[in-house]
Chain A
Amino acid sequence: MKHHIIIGAGPGGVVAAETLRKTNPTDQITLIGDEAAPPYSRMAIPYLLVEDIEESGTFLRATDHYKNHGIDYIQGRVANIDPNTKTCVLEDGSNLSYDELCIATGSTPISPPIEGIDLPDVHSCWTLEDARQISALATPNSNVVLMGAGFIGCIILESLVKRKVNLSVIEMGSRMVPRMLDENAGGLLKQWCIEDGVGVYTSTKVNAIKLADPDINNGSSMQVILDNGASINADLVISATGVKPNIQFLQNSGLEIDQGVLVNNKMQTNIPNIYAVGDVAQGMDFSTGEYTVQAIQPTATDHGRIAGLNMAGKNAEHNGSLNMNILDTLGLISTSYGLWMGQEGGDTAEIYTPEVFKYMNLRFGIDDESDVLVGATTIGLTQHVGVLRGLIESKIHLGEWKQRLINNPMRIMDAYVASTQELDNVVH
């Protein structure tokens, strides 16, 4: 009987543990999480902030789930690992021996080097504890400055607006969500937010956050100084400028690390009995073949499944994870998939009707994939959006459907159904 240790109890770690248990009923599985709460989902935090759910609504699984599946869940923080002795050393000094290890330690918000970033009312929005702090400070009519209009910034925008704060968003890039949305899509998002009363400042940097005397600062305790010389009063500053993989504790482990822990198509590191999954792993990107840190939920769970199968003695490989995102920003839903910026020389199918906030851009490949979908961006689409993944990952040759999609990109589901069902044959 082997002992498998999984460090990190986010979606990647939990799915790895579950897959391992389902595939191998007898091995010992230990799942280590470092937060006080049971394993939970950061994806659910925005819904906690609008008070749609309680904290328990963010939990990944029912609290007795782990025990019921023979997974030993322990709360603790791993200080370092020693692959030679196959040991994890916890910060409390205890040791755990493993036969196989899975690193699923996720990522941590970047703290930008800005004067005042350590002030008490400056918070990131990443953990349940962050959410509690934000809930306490984001009261009606309070002044809130959100640094960063990336994925996390946009996903919590709605909850802040619903809490009736005066919200200003500062983004260094030239548009909102520059790493997920193109100019058209980012522009629509900005316009949508502005029409909802949010101050959006793109191509703008925060130079400093300064303490202010509330008596002479309209009641606000801070001033956020922008690089254009303007300043904004703030009771709460939320820093959402990106995340970085939690790899510090692995520095002398012998693991190959670039931006994250490098893994092959089995989620295996350069040390064969050590796997890495999710935000901490630098695995293959389906679209580019390059090794990148994607830091998205679907990739974490796909990684977790593959690592779990391999740790259980199966042979599971993937052809890379497809980068994909969906955002609901004040009710405007945006998605992007794969090579959403397109490939040089590839064709494009586009509809853009900014007056009703609709946008769809399909990207086709090149050479022998010139009729294969390789990327997409959508604004305002909710029906059958997942089929974009199916079309991209299956590399379906669209044939005559390519021109039909160029004529009307909305027909993605028709294209998929027609390509996967035998419409012309009577099957009995």
Chain B
Amino acid sequence: MQKSLHLDPAKCTGCLQCEMACSYEKLGEFNPSRSVIKVFTFHEEGRFAPYTCTQCDEAWCLRACPVDAITMDLASGAKIVIDDKCVGCKVCTISCPFGTINYVQETGKVAKCDLCGGDPECAKACPTDAITYIDANATGYDRMKAFAEKSLPSANTSA
């Protein structure tokens, strides 16, 4: 069963443990500014919302890449950046309509969520279950994803 990240803003307290865990896993240092999961703060509503790549089926980033540097990990379904191939052209960063693949000036390459090879650190670090990693069809996550993807016109396809 394919699993996916389930992000529930209602449960997020804004503690940023996920950002710490993500950066520690990827960089070996606590550097939330380089985390690929971000917690957005809404003072007006008194809410927090964790957000990262939904590993969308459209895979805009993968399709836009001119040098085949983004591939899909068949086990986890994650779209993964192969650093050795990425030239840093940034075309994926303007193509991803969710804004979840970003250029990193320090490395000259792009970075995105890779689901930590199928064992995402952010979910393990979240103390309130605002981030969980569970069976894709049990999450209601698809509904959330569909909502995010709604009416993206270049995605319109019917069989």
Contact = CB atoms under 8 A, between A and B. Distances in A.
A389 B95 contact: yes
A201 interface: no
A316 B68 CA distance: 24
B102 A394 contact: no
A43 interface: yes
Interface size class of A (residues with CB under 8 A): 35 or more
B68 to A, nearest CB: 5
Interface stretch (B22-30, B45-53, B73-81, B119-127): B45-53
Contacts of B99: 383-388, 390, 412-413, 416
B118 to A, nearest CB: 24
B135 to A, nearest CB: 16
Given A59-B67, A314-B159, A321-B154, A333 B94 contact: no
A414 B97 CA distance: 14
A62 interface: yes
A390 B100 CA distance: 11
Contacts of B156: 316-319
A315 interface: yes
Contact of A333 (B64, B103, B148): B103
Given A314-B159, A326-B93, A414 B40 contact: yes
A344 interface: no
B9 interface: yes
B91 A298 contact: yes
A383 B117 CA distance: 23
A395 B44 CA distance: 23
Interface string A392-427: 011100000000100000001110111011111111
Nearest to A401: B44
A378 to B, nearest CB: 10
Interface of B: 7-10, 38, 40-42, 44-45, 47, 49, 51, 60, 63-64, 66-68, 85, 87-105, 108, 140, 144, 147-148, 150-154, 156-159
23 contacts: A52-B87, A57-B85, A59-B68, A62-B68, A315-B157, A315-B158, A324-B95, A328-B89, A333-B90, A337-B94, A382-B93, A385-B102, A386-B95, A393-B97, A412-B99, A413-B38, A413-B99, A417-B49, A417-B51, A418-B45, A418-B49, A421-B49, A425-B10
